[in-house]
Amino acid sequence: MKLTVETGRRSFWDMAQGSLFSWVNENIFQRRTFSRFCSLLDNYNPDEGCKEVVSSEERQEQASFIEEISRTAPVKYLHKYLSSKGISENYQNFESMMTSLWFDLYGRGGTSGSSSAFEHVFVGEIKQCGEEEVSGFHNWLQFYLEEDKGRVDYHGYIFPRRRGQIPDSDTQLLTIQFEWNGILKSVSSTLVGVSPEFEIALYTLCFYMGGEDNHIQLGPYPVNIKCCRLGDKIGSAFPVADC
């Protein structure tokens, strides 16, 4: 299967030996939330046990991203809803809360300060315990950019058990297998074509108002948004097609 992404239109055909993306309309990277999101992707060491060092420039990139997405409809809705539930009523406090939730470092793989919610969910990490494997990495933009650089080897898609059919031009929820820098991710699910602000808002809402399993309807898709906690932080968040 290959994937073409324009501005909301996708095309598929079965060619698992090739790449997932045949073409993406790169005008999307001129959108401010997209460009600020992409500027964050190279800020992390992928080794799960490696302590992260965050520069002042990287902190500014984090602040700029949160500030930018806070102007968008999905995140404004998120704030309005959380405020109605008594969570972070002040907007300035809300932005600080979002920055802390997504970018504060915590321990993973036995090393303190080695991971964050943003790194795990959107960038991806390499587990070093036992056999190496990819952990996290649930974002389509990161996949496209890494595939374009030759770092991702797409293996193919997994049939949705509920539908039992090949993805078509309207498909936006994919379950795939791939290698990243030669290391396998045996099963990974992702929402394709969505904006960074949509995913951030969705996962944040599930973290504060839901549980580990959050069964929702996204357009035509019954989806379980898995939201795993590490204390008071997001350990992982990703979509799973409900069967």
Query: Model confidence at 167, in pLDDT bands (50, 70, 90)?
Result: low
Query: Model confidence at 16, in pLDDT bands (50, 70, 90)?
Result: low
**Which pLDDT score is estimated for 170?**
59
Q: Residue 189 is which amino acid? A: S
Query: Model confidence at 156, in pLDDT bands (50, 70, 90)?
Result: confident
Most confident of 15-29, 160-174, 212-226: 212-226
95: tokens are: 């932005």
Best CA proximity match to 33, nearest among 141, 174, 116, 105? 141
**Which pLDDT score is estimated for 17?**
61
Higher pLDDT, 243 or 149: 149
Query: Model confidence at 243, in pLDDT bands (50, 70, 90)?
Result: low
Query: Model confidence at 9, in pLDDT bands (50, 70, 90)?
Result: very low
Work out whether strand 133-135 and strand 152-157 pair parallel, antiparallel, or are unpaired. unpaired
Q: 182, 162 in Cβ contact below 8 A?
A: no
Q: Residue 220 is which amino acid? A: P
Q: What is the model's pTM? A: 0.89
| Tens digit of each residue's pLDDT (9 = 90 or more) over 107-150 | 987 788 989 999 999 999 998 777 899 999 999 999 999 999 99
Lowest-pLDDT choice from 2-6, 103-107, 145-149: 2-6
Active site residues: 120, 138, 185
Residue spans of the domains in the chain: they are: 2-241
- Provide Rg for the chain, Cα atoms: 17
Work out whether strand 21-24 and strand 10-13 pair parallel, antiparallel, or are unpaired. unpaired
| Element counts in the chain: helices (H) and strands (E) | 7, 13
Q: 194, 72 in Cβ contact below 8 A?
A: no
User: What sign results for the dihedral spanned by CA atoms 162, 165, 167, 168?
Assistant: negative
**Which pLDDT score is estimated for 15?**
41
Alpha-carbon distance of 4 to 2, in angstroms, equals 7
Q: Does 201 have pLDDT greater than 70?
A: yes
Q: 115, 124 in Cβ contact below 8 A?
A: no
